[in-house]
C-alpha cells in the first residue's frame, strides 16, 4: 500500500483531514496512471531476442510488480513488444495483430533487428525496422537486449504513458542504397575439403546420365544443389556423397541464357525440395520436377531474390517502398 500511495503522489496530492485523508487528482491523470500501471503485453516473439524477453518475464525479474501480465490474445493486450527479426512474411501478421489490439496501445521495438533489421537489414526477406510496419513508442537497443534493458524500456514507456502522451513514430530515415557485389568481387579462395575427390564442369545435357552413373558408383547422398549468379551466367553446383567411402564429388553446370535443366528428383528424392529452393531463389526451371513451386517465398512473390537482376526495395510494398509510396501509405492508415 505504501508503494501505491507513493505512486499516487505523482499524479495528485493528499490533504490530511481529521479522521481521513483526501486525495485530489484529475480523472485524466488517474487514467494515465492506471494505464501505465497495468500494461498487458501480447505474448509472441520473433527470434533470439524473444528468448531474452521470456527471461525478462520470468520470476527472477517479477514483472507482475509493474502490473504486467502477458496475454495470449491481441484483444486483451495493449502492449506489443516486437522482439526479434521482422521478416517480410511476418510483417503482415504483425500488422494484423497490431490492428486487432484495442486502443490505446503501445509498441516497444526490442533489439537491433526489430529496430533496424540489424545484420539482416539488406537481406531480401527482412524488413529494415518494424517501424516500417507499425508505429513504435520505445526502442530498446541490444543484440539481444538484456532483461534489465527490457525493463528500462518498459519504465520509459510508463513515463510516456504517465504523461498522457503516446508518441508513435514511423521511420523517416532515407532508404539506404542497396549495393550488390558480384560474387567474383567478394569471392575468397575456398579451401577444398580433403574428402572432395572431384570438381568439374559438365554439359547440362549430360546431367541425368552423369548422376545415374555416380549413384551406381555409391554416391547415393545428394548433399546439396545450389546456384551462383555471375551476372549474365548462372552456374548450378551439385554435391554428391559416398558415405561408404567417405568421399564427395562436386560438379557444376553453366546454364547460359536457357534457365532450364532436367530434374534429378527421379534419381535422388532429396532433389525435390532443393530444386524447389533453387527455382524459388534463382528462377531455374527443373524439367520433370513433380511439384515445382516456391518453397521459401510467398506464392505471390514477384521475382527471384538471389538473381543479380533482382531489384531490391522494389517489390515489398509497403515494407520497402519508395519514400513517396511510403508517405502515401502512411496517410492511408
Residue 290: partners with Cβ closer than 8 Å, 6 or more residues away: 265, 272
Task: Please state the closest distance from residue 52 (CB atom) to ligand SF4, in A.
Answer: 7
Cβ-based nearer residue to ligand SF4, 46 or 77: 46
- Binding residues among 71-90 for ligand SF4 as defined by CB under 6 A: 84-85
Are 23 and 8 in contact by the 8 Å Cβ rule? The answer is yes
Are 307 and 292 in contact by the 8 Å Cβ rule? The answer is no
Task: Please state the closest distance from residue 114 (CB atom) to ligand SF4, in A.
Answer: 7
The answer to the question of residue 112 lying near ligand SF4 (CB under 6 A) is yes
Task: Please state the closest distance from residue 53 (CB atom) to ligand SF4, in A.
Answer: 10
Candidate list 30, 47, 151, 160; residue touching ligand SF4; CB under 6 A: 47
Contact track, ligand SF4, 116-155, x by CB under 6 A: --x------------------------xx-----------
Are 53 and 45 in contact by the 8 Å Cβ rule? The answer is yes
Are 108 and 79 in contact by the 8 Å Cβ rule? The answer is yes
Query: Cis omega before residue 257 (within 30°)?
Result: no
Partner residues linked to 287 by β-bridges: 262
Cβ-based nearer residue to ligand SF4, 34 or 143: 143
Under rule CB under 6 A, how many of the chain's residues touch ligand SF4? 11
Measure Cα distances from 257 to 129, 229, 235, 251, 260 in Å: 37, 12, 11, 19, 9
- Binding residues among 48-67 for ligand SF4 as defined by CB under 6 A: 48-49
Nearest to 94 by CA among 103, 102, 104, 83: 83
Nearest to 226 by CA among 279, 292, 303: 279
Task: Please state the closest distance from residue 39 (CB atom) to ligand SF4, in A.
Answer: 21
Q: In this chain, which stretch among 31-39, 109-117, 182-190, 258-266 interacts with ligand SF4, using CB under 6 A?
A: 109-117
Task: Please state the closest distance from residue 109 (CB atom) to ligand SF4, in A.
Answer: 10
The footprint of ligand SF4 (CB under 6 A) covers 47-49, 84-85, 111-113, 118, 143-144
Amino acid at each position: 500500500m505504501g508503494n501505491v500511495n507513493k505512486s499516487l503522489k505523482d499524479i495528485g496530492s493528499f490533504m490530511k483531514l481529521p479522521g481521513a485523508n483526501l486525495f485530489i487528482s484529475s480523472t485524466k491523470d488517474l487514467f494515465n496512471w492506471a494505464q501505465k500501471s497495468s500494461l498487458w503485453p501480447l505474448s509472441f516473439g520473433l527470434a533470439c531476442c524473444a528468448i531474452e524477453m521470456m527471461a525478462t518475464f520470468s520470476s527472477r525479474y517479477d514483472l507482475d510488480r509493474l502490473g504486467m501480465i502477458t496475454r495470449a490474445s491481441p484483444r486483451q493486450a495493449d502492449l506489443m513488444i516486437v522482439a526479434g527479426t521482422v521478416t517480410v512474411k511476418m510483417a503482415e501478421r504483425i500488422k494484423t495483430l497490431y490492428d486487432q489490439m484495442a486502443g490505446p496501445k503501445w509498441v516497444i521495438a526490442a533489439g537491433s533487428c526489430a529496430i533496424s533489421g540489424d545484420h539482416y537489414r539488406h537481406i531480401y526477406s527482412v524488413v529494415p525496422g518494424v517501424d516500417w510496419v507499425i508505429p513504435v513508442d520505445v526502442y530498446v537497443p541490444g543484440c539481444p537486449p538484456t532483461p534489465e534493458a527490457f525493463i528500462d524500456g518498459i519504465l520509459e514507456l510508463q513515463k510516456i504513458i504517465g504523461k498522457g502522451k503516446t508518441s508513435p513514430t514511423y521511420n523517416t530515415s532515407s532508404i539506404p542504397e542497396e549495393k550488390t557485389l558480384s560474387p567474383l568481387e567478394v569471392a575468397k579462395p575456398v579451401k577444398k575439403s580433403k574428402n572432395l575427390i572431384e570438381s568439374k564442369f559438365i554439359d547440362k545435357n549430360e546431367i541425368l546420365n552423369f548422376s545415374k552413373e555416380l549413384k551406381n558408383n555409391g554416391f547415393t547422398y545428394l548433399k546439396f544443389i545450389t546456384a551462383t549468379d555471375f551476372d549474365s551466367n548462372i552456374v548450378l553446383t551439385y554435391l554428391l556423397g559416398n558415405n561408404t567411402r567417405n568421399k564427395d564429388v562436386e560438379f557444376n553446370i553453366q546454364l547460359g541464357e536457357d534457365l532450364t535443366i532436367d530434374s534429378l528428383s527421379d534419381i535422388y528424392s532429396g532433389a525435390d525440395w532443393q530444386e524447389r529452393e533453387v527455382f524459388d531463389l534463382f528462377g531455374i526451371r527443373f524439367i520433370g520436377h513433380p511439384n515445382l513451386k516456391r518453397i521459401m517465398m510467398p506464392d505471390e512473390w514477384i521475382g527471384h531474390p538471389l538473381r543479380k537482376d533482382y531489384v531490391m526495395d522494389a517489390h515489398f510494398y509497403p515494407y520497402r517502398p519508395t519514400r513517396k509510396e511510403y508517405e502515401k501509405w502512411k496517410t492511408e492508415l
